[in-house]
Chain A
Amino acid sequence: MRPHISIVLAAALVLPTLAVAGPPASAATASITYEAESGTLQGVTVADAVPGFSGTGYVAGFDDPADTAGQVTRWDDDGTADHLRRLGRRCRSLIARERVTDQRLCFGNETRAAHQVTAAATAKHSCWSYEDQRQFEASARTFLAEGLAAGERIWYARAGGPGGLGGWLDEAARAHPGAVRFVPLEEAYLAGQRLDPSAQVGTYTAATATAVADGYAGLRVVAECTPLVDTPDRLSSFAAYETLVDRFIATAPMRAVCGFDRGTLGDRAVAEVACLHPASNAGGVYFTLRAGPPGGPAAILAGELDVAAEELFPAALAHVRPEPTGGTIVFDAAGLRFVDHRALLQLHRYAERAGADVVLRTSLGIVTELAAMVGAGRVRVERVQ
């Protein structure tokens, strides 16, 4: 197995001739991760360190206008992604603005797994989409080992045995008695042929409480969930479960990663579950829709909703099913960075069917006007800062 290479994409930043001059970016932004796993280096090199930057890997040597580093994805810690295509002289002004803390980039076609770890580190509940099982297993091992180091109990759930992680799990169990468990997916998730969402959340609630009672810092789970979503029917049950369990994980001493084999499932099915997770590495998924906390807003909507979400957003609404309270369905949309007329009309129609109004709590400035332009009369905006 090839070593993971973690690289920070700050190299473009240290060039002496930046295209954009201006005040330094605010350092208030929290962790931002860059990944260019599918990038192709052209005229640039990989470096371990660049003075003035805190990352652990860089693309260096942008000294020719033709130099590029392929397509780069920027991950914010709310799980949203921006794709900055063909990073090079053309786009480096974009990157220059991100001269902030802790920039990390995982790079290289063979190291998809590495970036998955990075993405998971920023959220308690993540979706990993993968093609190569060995890479998934390597990421899972890193993630679970972090849990052991943090004093957590770890579970690995998978159908058909522990696969390539069997040896490591045995070893870890010997080193940390009582802390490591392999859970056959069939046993963990399926009572008969159908997943029971609330029963499953009950299982994790109990397991987390037991872990804490046993003196662990919490429960950390990696579940290879592909067999649970391989038909539309199963995907629908699973999505309902994801919504419930996400709400539990948000406040519980639990972390979880759900793995999906996109080669088996296809991009569309993976995207449909990915957008229900606070963080994901699935391509083409730029928003998240999650259930709100009990007694709080009906749903939490974050990221960017544009034409790419035209099919996905209605599907996510159907899975999460935010309910009206007193005639309104409140969306906490503080993390919403962009919403287009397509999504507003979808919210309008959803509200119509529910016989209610949708309230978007957002800091975005022009949503009211946009809703008025397209006749999304059931969408109201409450401005929050």
Chain B
Amino acid sequence: MRTGAAAGHTGYFHEAIRYDSDEHLLAVVLPFLLGGVAAGEPTMVAFGERNADLVRAALPAGCPVTFLEGGDVYARPVGAIRSYRNLLAEHAGAGAGQIRIVGELSAAQFGATWDAWARYESAINHAYDEFPLWSMCAYDERTTPPAVLADVARTHPRTALPHDRHVPSPQYVSPEVFLLQDRPAVTDPIEHAPPVADLLDPRPLEARAAVRTAAASAGDGLTGRPVDELVLSVSEVVTNAYVHGLPPVRMRIWAGRGRMVVSVEDGGPGPKNPFAGLLPTSSTTSAGLGLWIAHQSCSHITLHRAATGYTVRMTAGPPYTG
């Protein structure tokens, strides 16, 4: 059974909090958490350290609210979707009538990698919709860039305000629309230099060899796991370009500053499924599975649709955050 503002709602009740003071944040979050506890619902906080401490201090002693370890859950968007879906399935399976979560991203995610998180915020409207979830995502209006706040408005159907007010976001668009729109790409500065490799129509085998070689060649090159992950991602994306895209396929590699960026462009329009890569697929022959693996295996991934083709850009090592 649903309670609070989500009473009578089916599926995911997704809200943003746009706060400008600790008081504002607590005025929304505390009643939300206490209401969940009172209704006996699994009630969770996925905040960074500062705001987690703030909320913890404001809650009554012994209040059964779970504080999730923030760090890893929000390391990669698709990993977050996967972790949360597992968590939600567990609670729903145990008979929870509603699950409440309030979370926040770190300010580091509002820079050049924001695009991936904007897609996350949009995709979860669909990805969590099979669960009786009520969640709030908190954004500090004082420090969040305006472009990010604009995406927050487009990806959250509602905004939660103090005094238990919940207002629809007029800018909201469905993920099916949002995810297929072409979004501006933030160029990584290492892309301003000539690529260390530029291959036309590489086969997956050649693409992997090129990534390994470039990694071994770069002076401050990456080794080990990030390279293995990038090799896997590039292999799947190049395979997709052949199987699902259109020629020509162009692959470029940039390396420097402790990271590598690989772009793979084909002449096709990109996957029709807006959730390709963001959600697992049971089909092993669709582009979605390879793209989903790539999303989990690189530190940052962007997708661009243009009149000339479709480009997937993957990063290994700590991504440029702008």
Contacts and interface: CB of A to CB of B under 8 A. Distances in A.
Q: Do A and B come from one complex?
A: yes
Interface of A: 19-23, 25, 74, 81-86, 90-91, 93-94, 96-97, 286, 304, 306-308, 338, 340-342, 345, 364-366, 369-370, 373-374
Given A304-B208, A338-B231, A370-B232, A85 B216 contact: no
B85 to A, nearest CB: 13
Interface stretch (B3-11, B103-111, B173-181, B217-225): B217-225
A86 to B, nearest CB: 7
Q: Top 7 nearest A-B pairs by Cβ distance?
A: A20-B217, A82-B209, A365-B228, A22-B217, A94-B213, A307-B239, A366-B228
A338 B197 contact: no
B41 interface: no
A370 B213 contact: no
B205 A308 contact: yes
A364 B231 CA distance: 11
A40 to B, nearest CB: 15
Interface string B265-302: 00000000000000010001000011011001100000
B79 to A, nearest CB: 10
Contacts of B232: 338, 340, 366, 370
Contacts of A345: 284
Contacts of B204: 306-308
Contact of A306 (B199, B210, B235, B293): B235
B170 to A, nearest CB: 38
5 contacts: A21-B217, A83-B205, A306-B208, A308-B205, A338-B231
B206 interface: yes
B236 interface: yes
A22 B218 contact: yes
Given A82-B205, A307-B239, A365 B217 contact: no
B198 interface: yes
Given A20-B196, A340-B235, A366-B229, A83 B216 contact: no
Nearest to A22: B217
A342 B204 CA distance: 14
Given A25-B216, A83-B206, A304-B205, A373 B293 contact: yes
B305 interface: no
Interface in B197-251: 197-206, 208-210, 213-214, 216-219, 221, 224-225, 228-229, 231-232, 235-236, 239, 243
A341 B289 CA distance: 9
Interface string B55-66: 000000000000
A82 B206 CA distance: 6
Nearest to B203: A83
A133 B58 CA distance: 85
Contacts of B210: 91, 94
Contact of B293 (A97, A341, A365): A341
Nearest to A90: B198
A306 B239 contact: yes
A374 B292 CA distance: 10
Contact of A21 (B208, B219, B239): B219
A86 B243 CA distance: 22
Given A22-B217, A340-B232, A365-B225, A94 B197 contact: yes
A233 to B, nearest CB: 29
A84 B216 CA distance: 17
Contacts of B297: 366, 369-370
Contact of A22 (B219, B228, B280): B219
Contacts of B235: 306, 338, 340
A19 B196 contact: yes
A340 B236 contact: yes
Nearest to A80: B205
B289 A374 contact: yes
